[in-house]
Amino acid sequence: MSITIENILLIGSLLLFISILAGKTSYRFGVPTLVLFLSVGILAGSEGIGGIYFNDPEIAQFIGIASLNFILFSGGLDTNWKSIKPVVWQGISLSTLGVLFTALGVGTFVWAITDFSIYEGLLLGAIVSSTDAAAVFSILRSKNLALKSHLRPTLELESGSNDPMAYFLTIAFLGLVLNPEQSIWSIIPLFIQQILIGGLLGFIFGKLCKIVINKIKLDFDGLYPVLAIALMFIVFSATNFMGGNGFLAVYLSGVYLGNQNLIRKKTIMQMFDGLAWLMQIVLFLTLGLLVYPSQIVPVVGIGIVISIFLIFIARPIGVLISLSFFKMKMRRRWYVSWVGLRGAVPIVFATYPLLAGVDKANFIFNIVFFVSLSSVIIQGTTLSVVAKWLHVALPDRVKPKSQVETFLSDGAKSIIREILIPKHNKAVGKRIVEIGFPKKAIIAMISRNEKFITPKGTTEIEANDILIILSEDERTMTHVYDTLEIKEGIEEI
């Protein structure tokens, strides 16, 4: 079956529906959701029961890049700075040195056991060098796996931030394959440029996005997520245009925005969470359609060898080297190594050699597909087992509470005050998001003219408003009074 204008909506919606149903039941059988999405795409493809013919790497690459923007930006929004702050340097080391040494290890191994040139081997190594954010986020969160000693934020930070390094290495080694007369050292200035410009613009654009979102008064609340989508793609494309790494900039801007006070922040985050899942499904379906199972069979042998080397040798070496600067128990290092899930990102990167016309591009693509699939199946299905085996999983009785449970617990938001806003107070006429309210306190309700108002970020404070404030502790409540420039002493509930 060929894809036409007449049937694309029907086929697409049916594939989405089937994927969601498959994902709903997948964990009952211990199968990662992403494998089900990929399987649906393969079954719907030209060699599957669906018979849909799709053989356009350029469209697949476009869908992949767009999807990665949503996945990385959503992952950044969900990243709590307080949770990653203690492990930020470990995450940076894993996402740079860890990726580099994994790529070098796999590339050298492939060069030694195949007829690949050293640059072709390194290209393959670069493509499979990063952990996949979509795979790690979805599997860790779906399994609700509680880990000891900052392991989870370390893993999520690494997976969310290491795609830029893998992307850079892929582009750099692809250039060397196409121009083998160039020196390998020529990629160093490009690396410095990509990382520095990408990192700097990520924070600059993040601050600009905050200003734009909070200052623009939109007539409809539903437009704020749309505005955020537009800003996300501006960050990516503008950073690439300026010579930086767009993926890095998108992720960092997401991290910055996720830890700031934004108008309609909850709505924006919820929508991006849904869009990230949609993009994961679309991405895996597309890549499944692009794959020809008959072409995978001839590479199974070499694929198994490379997968074993990657999982048990190259990835552990990369992790051990990158974490050698930090204090961490060895069993935790081994677990970080085991959560080296490959997923859709390497398959997307494998389309670059196809479009560049590299001689072994099809062979590389099929090997990458097999390696990614085997990684998700082998490692993704055993995360809980290996965590218990290495004693890095928290028992159920001490698992962290959910956000709702934490909010309702005795120690959270236990201080409640009513604060009257005088006529000439500096907060009058300002929107809540512009006040700079302490993050450990919230305005639960506003009493205005004997009516109660549920506040939003866009709600303007008026004279004689009574703010019902919930705070975690007295120190934060004192900060609230200081922010509003009001003396303490108003009636306490």
Any idea which architecture 403-484 has in CATH?
2-Layer Sandwich (3.30)
d(CA 130, CA 108): 16
**pLDDT tens for each residue of the chain, 493 residues long:** 555 656 667 777 887 787 777 666 555 544 566 677 788 888 888 788 877 888 889 999 999 999 999 988 998 998 888 888 889 999 999 999 999 999 999 999 999 999 999 999 999 999 999 887 666 766 666 555 667 667 888 888 888 788 889 999 999 999 999 998 888 888 889 889 999 999 999 999 999 999 999 988 888 888 999 999 999 999 999 999 999 999 999 999 999 999 988 888 888 998 998 898 888 888 888 888 888 889 898 999 999 999 999 999 999 999 999 999 998 889 999 999 998 888 778 989 999 999 999 999 999 999 999 998 888 888 877 888 888 898 887 765 455 544 444 444 434 446 788 888 988 888 898 888 888 888 778 888 898 887 888 888 778 899 889 888 888 778 888 888 888 888 875 444 4
Phi-psi group of 489: left, alpha or beta (phi > 0 → left; psi -120 to 50 → alpha; rest → beta):
left
- Residue 135: closest CA among 42, 38, 258, 22: 38
pLDDT score, position 102: 96
Tell me what pLDDT residue 131 has: 85
Burial class (CB in 10 A: 0-12, 13-18, 19+), 122: buried
Residue ranges of domains in the chain: 8-398, 403-484
Q: What are phi and psi for residue 406, nearest 5 degrees?
A: -65, -40
Measuring CA to CA, which residue among 433, 429, 434 is closest to residue 463?
A: 429
pLDDT of residue 487: 80
Helices (H), 297-431: 300-309, 315-322, 330-338, 344-349, 351-356, 361-380, 383-389, 403-408
pTM for the full predicted model = 0.80
Integer angstrom CA distances of residue 448 from 462, 466, 467: 8, 7, 9
Q: How far apart are CA 310 and CA 103, in angstroms?
A: 9
Taking only Cα atoms into account, the Rg of the chain, rounded to an integer number of angstroms, comes to 25
Tokens of 98: 């860890």
Q: What angle do CA 370, 119, 288 make, to 5 degrees?
A: 25
- pLDDT reported for residue 405: 43
Q: Are 421 and 446 in contact (CB under 8 A)?
A: no
List C-alpha distances in Å: 28 to 18, 19, 23, 24, 348.
16, 15, 10, 9, 29
Please give the Cα distance from 255 to 77 (Å, whole number): 5
Residue 406: predicted pLDDT:
44
Q: How far apart are CA 361 and CA 124, in angstroms?
A: 10
Q: Which residues contact 333 (CB under 8 A, 6 or more apart)?
A: 319, 320, 323
Whole-number pLDDT of residue 142: 58
Assigned architecture for domain 8-398: Up-down Bundle (1.20)
